[in-house]
Amino acid sequence: MISIATPTMWAVFTIFVILALLVDLLMLKSTGPHKVTTREALLWSVCWIGLAAVFNYALWWYLNHIGNPDADRIGMEFLTGYLVEKALAVDNIFVFLMIFSYFAVPPESQQRVLIYGVLGAIILRAIMIFIGAALIQQFHWILYIFGLFLLGTGVKMILSAGKEPDMESNPVLRWITGHLPLTRHYQGEAFIVREDGLRKYTPLFVVMVMVAITDVIFAVDSIAAIFAITTDPFIVLTSNVFAVLGLRALYFLLAGMAEKFHLLAYGLALVLIFIGVKMLIVDFYKIPVAISLGVVAALIASAMLFSLVIKPKTQKAAVGEEYIIEDKDS
């Protein structure tokens, strides 16, 4: 696979991510289970965005230092890819919010689910990115498949915007509740407990699986989208990982604002459609990275602005106090 990255750059990035995750895990352990405040989420979001900005600048500076003539373009590609991934992560967050609401996950337990979700997302996305980069290098026409996929996904998002998914008919949830021994109530932050000598899975385990599967599904969209910005696996992976690292903090920051930005789904759908078109015309006209960055930012900003101006028609019903899994024999 063709990439600007040297083995040293890969090693530095890997160490950087591992250290960031260790700090995050240690901080989570030191504070213990608690409800994350908006102030705390904002501080963590600023930290993660700041780390991404530092990495972006360091990458640009290093490439300039070694005399790479494409340093400016590569730096802009990272920034654009990061913005696209960050924007599409908002859709993940709204779905996570629906899952947490449906299962009535206690606020103090949500962090544990999300931290495991972030770890799983990084591993799965890395695998998908390397597979995607290898396929594109061997079969250029894969870009057209990605473009059509993003167009279809964008149209589907517009048609389904404002509609909550039917959790009861979700095949994964139905399989889990039908095949795994489950406890009826939450058991603190435990995923697995022993009851009457038998190993059973808690509702929190079910939530973790649903969050992980949701992220994989959305990763297909976001990874396909960033390949329209660049096909360099290093830029694709680094921008993706930095966006995912801040996913947990961004969730707690936006969790209370889902209703305020009710039109954001339309903006994200238009972003996917734009990127899909960009992929389909890549062999005829390459849209400059700076223009792509401006279009993506304008679409997201417009959707947020219109959300504040146009009020939602209906309000969501209140969430129950605790999710209880039905007995399979009842």
Position 63 scores a pLDDT of 92
Q: Give CA–CA dist 207/194, Å, rounded.
A: 19
CA-wise closest residue to 5 among 13, 185, 329, 247: 13
Q: Mind listing the pLDDT tens digit for each residue in 188-227? A: 778 888 887 788 888 888 888 888 877 777 777 778 888 8
> Quick check: pTM over 0.85?
no
- The domain locations on the chain are 7-309
Q: Mind listing the pLDDT tens digit for each residue in 131-180? A: 888 888 788 788 888 888 888 888 887 887 666 656 666 677 778 777 78
Q: Which two tokens stand for residue 158?
A: 């517009």
Q: Give CA–CA dist 227/19, Å, rounded.
A: 27
8 Å CB contact between 59 and 239: no
End-to-end CA distance of the chain: 55
CA-wise closest residue to 104 among 266, 270, 323: 323
Cα–Cα distance list, 86 to 72, 296, 297, 307, 325 (Å)? 21, 11, 11, 19, 34
The vertex-299 CA angle with 145 and 296, nearest 5°, equals 55
Residue 319 banded pLDDT, cuts 50, 70, 90:
very low
Q: Give CA–CA dist 44/162, Å, rounded.
A: 29
Q: Which helix (H) or strand (E) holds 135?
A: helix 107-138
How buried is 251 (Cβ within 10 angstroms: 0-12 exposed, 13-18 middle, 19+ buried)? buried
Q: Is the pLDDT of residue 55 over 60?
A: yes
Question: Which CB contacts under 8 angstroms, 24+ apart, belong to 287-290?
Answer: 289/73, 289/76, 289/77, 289/80, 289/229, 290/76
